[in-house]
Amino acid sequence: MRLSVILSLIISLILLPVPAQAASAGDVISAQPTTVYLLPGKLLEVPVNAWNVLYRSTSATGAPNAVSATVLVPKASYPFGRRPVIGYAVGTHGLGDQCAPSLAMREGRETELALVSLFLLKGFAVAVTDYEGLGTPGQHTYMAGISQGQAVLDSVRAAIRLPGSGLSASAPVGVMGYSQGGASAGWAGQLQPSYAPDLRLKGVAAGGVPADLKAVAQSLDGGANFGLAAAAGVGFDAAYDELDLFNDLNDRGKALMTDAADDCVGDLSKLAGLRFSDLSPIDLMNQPKWLARLAENRLGARPPRVPIFLYHARGDEIIPHAVGSTLRSEYCRAGVNARWLSIPGGNHVLGAVEGGPLAIEWLALRVYGLPAFGNC
């Protein structure tokens, strides 16, 4: 058994004394108040009650684990009944613990807090997961969608169960994310009926979604953003023991992947221009063990039962526009109430900037209980 699995089990099974009632996913292990800032230097404190939370969740293979998150609740009372809760899934931050959004929010360097704040201004509570292995012992299981989706759903459960949060188990829930977060949001939507039926999920907004990781990896191979594909390889290797990535790498690949295993997203640019063939003597992506896990983590097979808003920039240089539009088509064929926005021009970052506020407004309407109208 890997050391990361052992450490995760220690946290989830030993660190906290087991109560008389069996522990379950979403239970709070520990929590402490924190302060979050919009700008570095601890400038512009966000006026919310905030907690750093460690909570129980589930790995991609069904094992219990522990994941960290930040829970944000506006200080003002909510005048319209039960305060809504948003599970916000961040985009790629990196592989090392120092990249975790919880730490970034405490230090005033979390860029996505600008979008999170639009929910807070509406009076909504927000749970921001760090995902498995990002801020907790073990390697971050980057882009293992099943693990990420479960971490998002359990962060909402943890926010609701957090003593002092004032949140209700019957609160309306929304989920949003972009890029890595878009995949996580999509998986949260697909998994919720079976994994978290207790949550009153009203809608999912997912942008720049890397729904088909094999297609994305092939697109990134040899390009300026190859580091993201390599990081996904590290993340999948952490999620699935049988992949044994490092055993299939050449000496150069082992050195590069070892060096990248604790990098933040900006550091991954050092892998620009490389190909998988530079790192391994075999065709990694077409090995049966990889094909099986990539297929398992491909979005679209289990359609969500709630309305979904999908948005994607036509000029996205990281996640091909065709990957997003294919997901939309598959959802539409499955009868999902899907709203699709193809953002003219732009690139991956502009897709988030232009689409994010629109997605927030769409999701707020779903949380308020207004009907959604798709455009399949």
Full-model pTM: 0.93
338-375 confidence digits (pLDDT tens): 999 999 988 999 999 999 999 999 999 999 999 999 99
258-270 confidence digits (pLDDT tens): 999 999 999 999 9
According to CATH, the topology of domain 213-295 is 434 Repressor (Amino-terminal Domain) (1.10.260)
Residue 17 has pLDDT above 70, yes or no: no
* Superfamily in which the 3-212+305-367 domain is placed by CATH: Alpha/Beta hydrolase fold, catalytic domain (3.40.50.1820)
58-105 confidence digits (pLDDT tens): 999 999 999 999 999 999 999 999 999 999 999 999 999 999 999 999
pLDDT for 21 equals 53
The reply to whether domains 3-212+305-367 and 213-295 share a CATH topology is no
Closest CA to 206 of 326, 365, 363: 363
Torsion of CA 366, 69, 149, 166, to 10 degrees: -40
Burial of 7 (0-12, 13-18, 19+ CB in 10 A): middle
For the chain, domain boundaries = 3-212+305-367, 213-295
How far apart (Å, rounded) are the C-alpha atoms in residues 286 and 283?
Answer: 6
How many Cβ atoms are within 10 Å of 43's Cβ, its own excluded?
9
